[in-house]
Amino acid sequence: MAATNEIAEIKVGDKLPDVVLKEGQPDYGAPVDVKLSELTGKIALFGVPGAFTPGCSKSHLPSFITAMDELKAKGVETIICTATNDAFVMEAWGKTSGGADAGIRFLADADNELCTALGLAIPSDTFVRSKRYSLIAEDGVVTHYFSSAEQASDTWAPNVLSAL
């Protein structure tokens, strides 16, 4: 695999990578595989550095929870939150935050395949985190991309909504 810095950052017009994320289902046993490239329709996907972290829990995720009705009204069929945590941590964060009840799917990028393929991995000595981002894809093709390179709030739901 190429080093993270050799992978170009995702951009409008790119296809979503062919990676498998995990959706935790602790009540039923093992996590469920979700193949990102097979999701159809209009999706909003946002990535955060980590579940339960302050910025992610107090700002980024709540912005999408409160914007669910507006996103649906703009034709977004599926809203997905991802981080480089395992499926059970993502499931717990979805339940305790109210995000799962609001209709957001919490998918684990535990092996950092997605953030690496998107050119958004932040390697460290202990593990890889994802840069903060949001994107809209229609039938697997990115139509809008929101980077946190300048400000974290550029990736929050109000900014996404203003572009739709």
* Residues with a known catalytic role: 56
Contact 88, 24 (CB under 8 A): yes
Dihedral over Cα of 47, 34, 90, 66: its sign: positive
